């Protein structure tokens, strides 16, 4: 059976050249980068080379890159590190309601530590209104954190407009660019952000390798204390192979990015136009300002997890924001924030394409997905429409 991976926003396969670049640092070049002899030097040099390549992907300087172990760590670092560094100046932080859990839960943690947090709403396409950011800024505001692109609905935020306001007001701006960096062109100087989170596995690098960009001159308190690694801002013996992998993946991505976008965008458009021909299917997120390989929908009258399982049985791997498909059994806060009613959020499904996706894959998908929808609608009691007796809330769920 065909196996079609359409969940690139979850993670990506490792590029074969990246694995080749990493291998020597598992084997002969195993030295500790702090050691003062051959294998240590080699590891040190490899990290600094990777730092240059990683910085170059987002048009940053090498010294502005701090390697971490995940996007979640970088997001925690940005929020807590800036909050603690600037708490003397003020204790107010602004985030959007559609941030990743690692930003939202860090913000909630900081609330418990005495910081005030404003959670900005988004419109029906998932966009943050820059003017709403301006209005939320007070004399106490020290940090704004807005997700660059949503992994769930694909919407790309007007980061440059928001940074203009943040700069006018003298407030730092962090963006969680995990879903964007490596998938669309990202330039920290054009965006004028002060901090940016990005992760290697989103652009065919290894898992366990990520970075926080911190603009030169920005003070940040470390999460992890110890040795002098990463300029004393992130202690711990470096994961050399992973860092080397991130650097190599950044080089390849910088070289291939436009080619990848030109390849997946028409395939994505094909999926969207074909899927929207099906009755009672709605595109979630922004129609144009969205990630090039990202197609997300809600399908009425059926449930997301059931769709994922049926798709997987046909060899198509995808994701959903439905309550049943989540371990926490809660509907996606992102879908609720863009105004999708809870019963419709149950029918959410997300397809994300990558460089190995082919036209044949999309043809197969376009044939298969409507069949699955009809099959599940045959089983559903709502195939003729939602009943008006729906309970507005759910209390039965544990």
The catalytic residues are: 324
Question: Rounded distance, CA 372 to CA 199, Å?
Answer: 34
Is residue 381 close enough to count as binding another protein by CB under 8 A?
yes
Is residue 378 close enough to count as binding another protein by CB under 8 A?
yes
Q: 278-317 mask for another protein (x: CB under 8 A)? A: -----------------------xxxxxx--xx--x----
**Encoded tokens for 161:** 């407009």
Is residue 365 close enough to count as binding another protein by CB under 8 A?
no
User: 160 or 394, CB closer to another protein?
Assistant: 394
Count of residues that bind another protein according to CB under 8 A: 33
User: 116 or 278, CB closer to another protein?
Assistant: 278
- Using CB under 8 A, which of 298, 311, 323, 373 touches another protein? 323
User: 36 or 391, CB closer to another protein?
Assistant: 391
- To another protein, the closest distance from the beta carbon of 284 in angstroms equals 17
- To another protein, the closest distance from the beta carbon of 310 in angstroms equals 7
Instruction: Indicate the pairing of strand 316-317 with strand 141-147.
Output: unpaired
- Using CB under 8 A, which of 329, 339, 359, 374 touches another protein? 329
- To another protein, the closest distance from the beta carbon of 271 in angstroms equals 23
Taking CB under 8 A as the binding criterion, the range among 10-18, 174-182, 198-206, 372-380 that sits at the site for another protein is 372-380
User: 180 or 349, CB closer to another protein?
Assistant: 349
- To another protein, the closest distance from the beta carbon of 347 in angstroms equals 9
Contacts of 340 (CB under 8 A, 6+ apart): 284, 298, 348
User: 34 or 313, CB closer to another protein?
Assistant: 313
Taking CB under 8 A as the binding criterion, the range among 24-32, 156-164, 222-230, 323-331 that sits at the site for another protein is 323-331
| Residue 317: strand pairing partners | 5
CB 299 within 8 A of CB 318: no
Is residue 217 close enough to count as binding another protein by CB under 8 A?
no
Contacts of 77 (CB under 8 A, 6+ apart): 66, 68, 212, 220, 222, 223, 234
Is residue 2 close enough to count as binding another protein by CB under 8 A?
no
Burial code (b: 16+ CB inside 10 Å, e: under 16) for 290-309 equals bbbbbbbbbbbbbbbebbbe
CB 38 within 8 A of CB 49: no
Is residue 322 close enough to count as binding another protein by CB under 8 A?
yes
Give the footprint of another protein on residues 336-355 (CB under 8 A): 342-343, 346
Enumerate binding residues for another protein (CB under 8 A). Answer: 301-306, 309-310, 313, 322-325, 327, 329, 331, 342-343, 346, 378-382, 386, 390-394, 396-398
């Amino acid at each position: 059976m065909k196996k079609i991976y359409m969940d690139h926003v979850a993670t990506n396969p490792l590029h074969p050249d990246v694995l080749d670049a990493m291998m020597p640092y598992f084997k002969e070049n195993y030295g500790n980068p702090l050691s003062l002899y051959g294998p240590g030097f080699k590891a040190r040099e490899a990290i600094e080379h990777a730092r240059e390549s990683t910085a170059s992907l987002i048009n940053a300087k090498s010294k502005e890159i701090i390697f971490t172990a995940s996007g979640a760590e970088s997001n925690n670092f940005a929020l807590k590190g800036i909050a603690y560094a600037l708490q003397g100046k003020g204790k107010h932080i602004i985030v959007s309601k559609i941030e990743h859990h690692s930003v939202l839960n860090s913000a909630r943690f900081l609330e418990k530590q005495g910081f005030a947090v404003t959670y900005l709403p988004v419109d029906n396409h998932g966009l943050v209104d820059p003017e709403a950011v301006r209005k939320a800024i007070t004399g106490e505001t020290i940090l704004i954190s807005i997700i660059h692109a949503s992994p769930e609905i694909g919407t790309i935020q007007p980061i440059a407009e928001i940074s203009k306001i943040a700069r006018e007001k003298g407030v730092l701006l962090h963006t969680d660019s995990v879903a964007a960096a490596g998938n669309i062109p990202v330039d920290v100087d054009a965006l004028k952000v002060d901090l940016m989170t990005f992760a290697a596995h989103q652009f065919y690098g290894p898992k366990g390798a990520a970075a926080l960009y911190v603009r030169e001159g920005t003070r940040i308190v470390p999460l992890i204390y110890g040795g002098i690694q990463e300029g004393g801002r992130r202690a711990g013996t470096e994961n050399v192979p992973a860092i080397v992998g991130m650097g190599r993946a950044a080089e390849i991505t910088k070289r291939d990015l436009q080619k990848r976008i030109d390849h997946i965008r028409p395939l994505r458009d094909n999926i969207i136009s074909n899927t929207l021909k099906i009755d009672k299917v709605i595109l979630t997120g922004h129609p144009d300002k969205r990630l090039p390989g990202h197609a997300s929908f809600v399908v009425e009258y059926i449930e997301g997890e059931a769709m994922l399982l049926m798709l997987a049985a046909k060899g198509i791997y995808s994701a959903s924001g439905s309550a049943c498909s989540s371990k926490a059994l809660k509907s996606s806060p992102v879908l609720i924030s863009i105004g999708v009613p809870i019963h419709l959020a149950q029918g959410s499904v997300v397809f994300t394409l990558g460089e190995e996706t082919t036209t044949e894959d999309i043809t197969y998908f376009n044939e298969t997905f409507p069949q699955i929808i009809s099959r599940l609608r045959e089983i559903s009691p709502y195939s003729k429409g939602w009943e008006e007796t729906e309970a507005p809330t759910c209390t039965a769920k544990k």
